[in-house]
Structure 1
Amino acid sequence: MVERWVRRPPLTVARGGLIDAVLKVPYAIGGFTTDFAQEVGAVERLGRLGGPWTPVAPMPTARGNASATAAGERIYVLGGFVGGKTVDVVEVFEDGIWHTGRPLPAARGAAAAATVDGRIYVAGGFDEDDSATDKVIAYEVSTDQWHSVRPMPSKRGLLKIAVHDGRLHAIGGRDDNAVSQRTAERYDPATDTWETIAPMATGRGNPGVTKAGRHVYAVGGQGAGVALRTTERYDPAADRWETLEPLLAVPRTSLSAATVAGSTLVAFGGFELLGPTPVASARVESLHV
């Protein structure tokens, strides 16, 4: 039974364009202040559902619209935007301390990242020329090396990835014309192949995406010039999306989403587009699914 979104204690730092990683608990990483005025280096973690967020050591490089994933006992933050430019910076969080990792092969912002079997994948995003890309690169944690894998069928940035059944599900995003995409594509690392799966009902740029149970969820994001309150749920077995009835309290884009306790979605941060200026949000809501 899908219930309603419930207000939870806010982030300690309001930000949009943040990214999340789950290392036992969700972390909120980086982002931008209101109207993209400044990059954010702050990092905080959720101790328990319904409890407060706790600041941890900030990233050495403040940035927004990066990508992030956990591998082993480490969180990797990859690329992003600094001063309006994409960067190749990789920083690694381990035991409460940040250190510099091997840089991306080329600068990339607003990509999506995920880890499968000790290999980190970075898909899509915007390259040095601020053009949407279909390129996918993989980082072998054991050898500290990057290499290319098969590109996505479509070029897009501001997408997100969830891992389900050992495969990457690349959801939404925006193209070079800033059009929000309904696109969903799936990658099988075992065969190095992509397939196009059923599209969402609504185009979503920079939604919150997470996997819970047998479904993948896409929360909020930017639609056709507006932030969204809706959530869609993908059933891989049926290759079908459905739009859920519960609505976020406030339309939000450039937010993050994670799953806690196996069946509760947590949507945090983002931009609230209630006027001409994107307002950085500290809002946190949860939904039991």
Structure 2
Amino acid sequence: MHLTTNPPLTTLLLFPLLSLLLPPTTSLPTTTTNTTHWHTLPPIPSLPRQEHTTVYHAPSSTLYILGGIIPTNDTTLVPPVDTASILQAYNLETQTWTEPATLARIPRALNHINAAVVGGKVWVVGGLAEDGDGGEGRVWRGVKDVYVYAPESDVWETLNSSSSPFPTPRGSAAVGTYNSIIYLAGGLTALAFTPPTQNSSKIVSAFNTSSQAWIDLPPLARTLPEERDHAASAVIGSKFYILGGRAFGQENVKDTVFVLDFEDLEKGWRVSEARMPTARGGVAAGVVGKKVYTFGGEGNRGSESGVFDQVEVFDVEGESWEKVEGGMRVPRHGTFAVGVEGRVYVPGGGVRQGGAPVMDFDVFVP
């Protein structure tokens, strides 16, 4: 069972300008999964969520989910979702959620947020915001905003961008942190609905949280080998991994792994010889030890839902892939996974290509 609120799921499945125009159904396809890996957790309260970002705040043992898209009854909006400014928290020790109205909202409603935890604070470094009207002129466009959230005081701070503006505002970037610097690789500068247009980027940007300024990268580090958005990412040791993703549209999915060594930026990016077994975008990833577990995604032409159920693991030591038997308990895309102490937490996401937000929340145990 998938947990949703009004409007009903059959309405949410009519997400034509962002999806493949898949025929709506009253029930979702089922898949055989290896349930020994999966454990169901309390669902996200009140509102289904998709295209959000999840981060882990270790001092408070808390997962934060930021922004994203939520269902709406506003018939003027196409597709029928709103961009959210909601911040919610899940405490891993008490296994409880905060309600949407409990915590201070993000200063601006954003989806596809670029976020990270550095120095005990949650940093939001751009994302996509509503632009244009709710009909044919609707666009989600990259913003230059940088916000900092202090969990202990529940206060957001908006940084002054005039002295160090965001070089290429965008959302849906692959995010990595190293030595107080937040790196954004690729992303979307804009997503238009009519005509369907997705402007993918290969730019790599770096924000120093200590100086609160953007910094220049060496020439070979400042661009990816190709444009990417909706990719999975991980930092293990000093290396930044960009796994899969897509470019210029849902079905243009990729199976590449790009690698950057933060201790040797001058050398730039390299393309690993180990390709993902299943090319996919909108894929989530969580780190356990020296392995990156990847979950779900969209762009699946072989599935009526357009969603992948695959779970595949990348071993960074040997740079090799292995498939995990059974796949996801609830196949979805547009979610965000976080690895904590040997477990990977996966809240929300969409169960059809384009949009169909759900409240489902589960944890994967290798």
Question: TM-score higher than 0.5 here?
Answer: yes
What residue in structure 2 maps to residue 112 of structure 1?
174
Distance (Å, rounded) in 2 between the aligned partners of 1:42 and 1:128: 22
| Deviation by residue 1:109-141 (Cα, 9 ceiling, x = unmatched) | 211212101111011002258521111111112
* Mapped contact 1:202–1:223 kept (Cα < 8 A): no
On the 8 A contact 2:181/2:209 being kept in 1, the answer is yes
Q: Which residue identity does 1:272 align to in structure 2?
A: V
For 1:172 and 1:52, the matched residues in 2 are separated by 32
Which stretch shifts more, 9-18 or 53-62?
A: 53-62
Give the letter aligned to residue 144 of structure 2: D
Q: Which residue of 2 aligns with 1:287?
A: 364
- 2:102 paired with 1:30: no
Q: Relative to 1, partners in 2 of residues 1:67 and 1:36: Cα closer, same or farther, differing over 3 Å?
A: farther
* Residues in 2 aligned to 1:209 and 1:264: alpha-carbon distance in whole angstroms: 12
Q: Residue deviations 1:133-188, cap 9 Å, x none?
A: 11111111221210242111121111132111121111221111431211211111
Which residue of 1 is the match for residue 269 of structure 2? 194
State the secondary structure of the residue aligned to 1:133.
strand
2:254 paired with 1:181: yes
1:44 alignment partner, SS class: strand
Distance 1:278 1:199, change over 3 A: same
Match of 1:140 in 2: 208
Question: For residue 3 of structure 1, what is the amino acid of its counterpart?
Answer: T
- Tell me whether 1:125 sits opposite 2:187 in the alignment: yes
Q: After the TM superposition, which of the residue ranges 173-182 and 48-57 deviates more from structure 2? A: 48-57
How far 1:81 moved relative to its partner?
1.5
More strand by share: 1
AA aligned to 1:104 is F
- 1:218-244 CA distance string (max 9 Å, x none): 111113241122211110111111110
**Counterpart in the other structure of 2:29:** none
Check 1:267–1:173 CA distance in 2 against 1; reply closer, same or farther (3 A cut): same
Equivalent residues in 2 for 1:29-108, closer than 5 Å? 29-34=66-71, 35=79, 37-48=81-92, 51-55=95-99, 56-83=103-130, 84-94=140-150, 95=152, 96-101=154-159, 102=161, 103-108=165-170
SS of 1:272 mapped into structure 2? coil
1:196/1:10 CA distance change after superposition, 3 Å: same
- Whole-angstrom distance in 1 between the partners of 2:40 and 2:297: 18
| Equivalent residues of 1:157, 1:175 under 8 A apart | yes
Question: In the TM superposition, what is the alpha-carbon distance from 1:254 to its structure 2 partner?
Answer: 0.4
How far residue 3 of structure 1 moved from its aligned partner, in angstroms, is: 3.4
Cα distance change, pair 277–132 in 1 and its aligned pair in 2 (3 A): closer
RMSD: 2.1
**1:166 aligned residue:** 238
In the other structure, the counterpart of 2:40 is 7
Q: Which has the higher mean CA deviation after the structures are superposed, 181-190 or 120-129?
A: 120-129
CA contact under 8 A between 2:148 and 2:158: conserved in structure 1? yes
Whether the 8 Å CA contact 1:8–1:50 is kept in 2: the answer is: no
What is the CA-CA distance between 1:215 and the residue it aligns to? Answer: 0.4
> Which stretch shifts more, 45-54 or 278-287?
45-54
TM-score normalized with structure 2 length:
0.73
In the alignment, the residues of structure 1 paired with residue 360 and residue 311 of structure 2 have an alpha-carbon distance, to the nearest angstrom, of 16
CA distance in 2, matches of 1:277, 1:74: 31
Moved more, 148-157 or 28-37: 28-37
Gaps of 5+ in 1: none
Look up the match of 2:6: none
Q: One-letter code of the match for 2:95? A: G
* Alignment match, 1:17: 51
Structure 1 pair 277–23 and aligned structure 2 pair: CA distance change class (3 A): closer
- Using the alignment, how far apart are the partners of 2:63 and 2:295 within structure 1? 16
Deviates more, 1:96-105 or 1:189-198: 96-105
1:108 Cα deviation from its structure 2 partner: 0.7
Moved over 3 A (4+): none
Preserved CA contact (<8 Å) 2:53 2:68? yes
Distance between the aligned counterparts of 2:289 and 2:318, measured in 1?
14
> Retained in 1: the 8 A contact 2:141–2:170?
no
> What's the secondary structure of 1:126's corresponding residue?
strand
Any stretches of 5+ residues in structure 2 without a counterpart? Answer: 1-34, 72-78, 131-139, 192-197
Bigger CA radius of gyration: 2
Cα gap change, 1:132 to 1:98, in 2 (>3 Å)? same
Q: Deviations over 1:24-47 (max 9, x none)?
A: 132111101245621011111221
Question: Alignment partner for residue 228 of structure 1, among 308, 313, 319?
Answer: 308
